[in-house]
Structure 1
Amino acid sequence: MEHDVNGLHHVGHIVHDLDQAMECYRRLGFTVAAPAYPVLPAVPGGPAEPFGVANAHVHLQRGFVELVAVLGDGGHVPDGARPIPLRVPDDKVAGLREAIGATAANITSFLRRFQGVHIMFADTSGLDGVAARLTAGGDGHGGVHDIQRPVETPTGTTMEPARYLEISEPGLPPGSVPEGRVGFAENAPLTTPLPTGHPNGATGLVGCVLCVADPALPGVERRYGRYFGRATRSGRADVTVVAASALGDLLPGERPPALPAFAAYAVAVRDLEAAGKLLRGNGVPVVRTGPAELFVPAAAALGVAIVFRQDG
């Protein structure tokens, strides 16, 4: 089972204010790509207008972090954001607006729970096989979707092919599980390499912590075991499922904002001592949890603890 999981693809950090989030991530030592947002006519032939969600990416050598904010309902277009025109035939505009609107509604519902990470996708090179495996195991999903995703490169925005699948649990909106949005993604090789250098030396997305109510722990471990391979470490996706009563043992001082919740994610860095020095120099609090690991508390990182782990 584990052979179809190549690690974490990305986590999605949902925020109220994308400008604030980008500044926060820069203080954390990350390089944040220019934000972007889709534009689409409200009616066929009408003027294009911002719609859905705006996002910005922290690209790593392995995986990425997506910062997401909803446009409208009090949201705003972030400073310096690039519009991404969505070009579809006139007879497809209404359907696309409905699909994007549903995604934005999902994101809004996640944000009402708390500001933080609500999205976690594993990377795979065999998405059709994953879909078949989930179906055979009785796990619901929305099928494989083929899309063109905007990618910010040093020479501008390019559209790159990608495929994804969202897991669905009974009784919840399509594409949702109790902790948010979980699935698999498969990307074609990029035609233009992305810049992945960061002042903090981050090299890859290497882990995620899902915190659940104590009585729910066995069931969630089984569920994630079906999704990704092993129950508590989820194979090579490295998702740690932890009971709420034990979160403080793993990350001292942390409390989950809700249950269930992605309470933390981890990135590998080339030099942990240098990363810690940069963080402290930027006025960011850090907590040391061992010789090869430290973390920034959720209170200092917009609702999610960020673990920095020595690479290798």
Structure 2
Amino acid sequence: MSHDIDHLHHVGHVVRDMAGGLELYRRLGFRISPPAYPMLSRSQGEPPRPFGAGNTHADFPRSFVELVSCVDDDDPDRLPANAKRIPLQAPPEHLARITESIRSTVAKIAACAARFQGLHILVLKTADADAAARRLSAEGVGHGGVITIRRPVDTASGTQMEPVRLVELDSDAPGAGQVPEGRLAVAENSPAALLAAQPHLEHPNGAVDLVESVLCVAQADLPEVERRYEKYLGRPARAEGPARVFDLDGSRITLVADGDLGTILPGERAPALPAFVAYAVAVRDVGVARKLLEENGFPLKVSAAGDLFVPADAALGAAILFRESRRNAI
């Protein structure tokens, strides 16, 4: 049976201090480029200033991990070294609308950071956003319709602003759904040629793909959340120990009750409920990843499934699993 959701597109890690987040990810062995910050003139004639939120990615051939942090309104020019400043061009008559849209987005990110520092974003991948939107509507899932946003993508010839068509499930648009665990969306696949042109696909830890997102919920809410995700993904879950697992094409989404989280990820506790608590990346050689992490001073644990992971309290609120790539076993 074919499905319109075929993989994880990305997860988003919201941090309060971008410089600290960059240092963490580099110590974890991810090759991550300087963050991009939108620049906008607050009024006609004013010079552009950093505005909204900055982000960067640990990119893989078909997915990525996003690192996000809000601009400090009290000191908007205090950015990490080598930050990329992306001017936003807008006709004067559209400036107020664009500014308000960015403010709304940043307010959501700031609320996430205030709730807890960690994972607040899950975006699913589709080949056809229109088809996914139609199916979601037929399933009774509220959403904001297909919209187009732009994200910076590094290539050998410089940064390109890639248009991305997506469906927000946590949109403020009329009829949109409310997703208490964070921002949830469905995004179209990026052009393969553009993704292949990215210069930062080789990571010292050997990471090659984003392969799992773990959502922790209250025990009493697990059946309802499972039903929601069945509608989002267009498929049922299967049992795996105390967890419920939705299998995608080479990746998965795991739901687990708060009382069972420590069973699958020893020592972990959810910072709030519901919450995205962990993600997994596939690596070429888990032994290489282990050596790098140990040399960089990270405490390491092993999941119930045998995956190496860095605990959330050592990784700015997100447990990060390192799993041997299945492609290496073929």
Give TM-score, length-normalised by structure 1.
Answer: 0.94
Q: Assess, with a 3 A threshold, how the Cα gap between structure 1 residues 18 and 172 changes in structure 2: closer, same or farther.
A: farther
Residue-by-residue CA offset, 1:168-203 (whole Å, 9 max, x unaligned): 389999675100100111144154611300010001
Match of 2:222 in 1: 217
Residue 293 of structure 1: CA displacement? Answer: 1.5
Separation in 2 of the partners of 1:167 and 1:10? 15
Kept in 2: contact 1:176–1:182 (CA 8 A): no
Separation in 2 of the partners of 1:96 and 1:2? 38
Match of 2:59 in 1: 59
Separation in 1 of the partners of 2:44 and 2:137? 37
Give secondary structure in 2 for the equivalent of 1:56.
strand
Question: Percent identity among equivalent residues?
Answer: 49
Q: Assess, with a 3 A threshold, how the Cα gap between structure 1 residues 125 and 77 changes in structure 2: closer, same or farther.
A: same
Q: Assess, with a 3 A threshold, how the Cα gap between structure 1 residues 87 and 162 changes in structure 2: closer, same or farther.
A: same
Residue 233 of structure 1: CA displacement? Answer: 2.5
Kept in 2: contact 1:140–1:167 (CA 8 A): yes
Kept in 2: contact 1:34–1:152 (CA 8 A): no
Match of 2:241 in 1: none
Instruction: Pick one of 265, 286, 295 that aligns with 1:251.
Output: 265
Give secondary structure in 2 for the equivalent of 1:140.
coil
Match of 1:196 in 2: 201
Match of 1:306 in 2: 320
Kept in 1: contact 2:144–2:174 (CA 8 A): no
Aligned AA (2:29): G
Give secondary structure in 1 for the equivalent of 2:303.
strand
Kept in 1: contact 2:146–2:166 (CA 8 A): yes
Match of 1:230 in 2: 236
Give secondary structure in 1 for the equivalent of 2:169.
strand
Q: Assess, with a 3 A threshold, how the Cα gap between structure 1 residues 242 and 170 changes in structure 2: closer, same or farther.
A: farther
Residue 49 of structure 1: CA displacement? Answer: 1.2
Aligned AA (2:71): L
Instruction: Pick one of 134, 146, 160 that aligns with 1:144.
Output: 146
Instruction: Tell me whether 1:182 sits opposite 2:180 in the alignment.
Output: no
Moved more, 149-158 or 96-105: 149-158
Separation in 2 of the partners of 1:172 and 1:238? 30
Kept in 2: contact 1:29–1:199 (CA 8 A): yes
Match of 2:47 in 1: 47
Residue 207 of structure 1: CA displacement? Answer: 0.2
Residue 292 of structure 1: CA displacement? Answer: 5.1
Separation in 1 of the partners of 2:125 and 2:261? 26
Kept in 1: contact 2:123–2:186 (CA 8 A): yes
Residue-by-residue CA offset, 1:230-253 (whole Å, 9 max, x unaligned): 233234151101000000010000
Kept in 1: contact 2:308–2:323 (CA 8 A): yes
Where do 5+ consecutive residues of structure 1 fail to align? Answer: none
CA RMSD of aligned residues (A): 2.2
Moved more, 62-71 or 36-45: 36-45
Kept in 1: contact 2:164–2:190 (CA 8 A): yes
Aligned AA (1:15): V
Where do 5+ consecutive residues of structure 2 fail to align? Answer: 238-243
Aligned AA (1:103): T
Match of 2:168 in 1: 166
Separation in 1 of the partners of 2:246 and 2:312? 23
Residue-by-residue CA offset, 1:35-60 (whole Å, 9 max, x unaligned): 11001111234321111100111101
Separation in 2 of the partners of 1:203 and 1:95? 39
Kept in 2: contact 1:205–1:267 (CA 8 A): yes
Instruction: Report the number of matched residues.
Output: 312
Aligned AA (1:179): E
Separation in 2 of the partners of 1:46 and 1:287? 51
Separation in 2 of the partners of 1:280 and 1:141? 43
Moved more, 213-222 or 187-196: 187-196
Aligned AA (2:280): A
Match of 2:302 in 1: 288
Q: Assess, with a 3 A threshold, how the Cα gap between structure 1 residues 213 and 290 changes in structure 2: closer, same or farther.
A: closer
Give secondary structure in 1 for the equivalent of 2:266.
coil
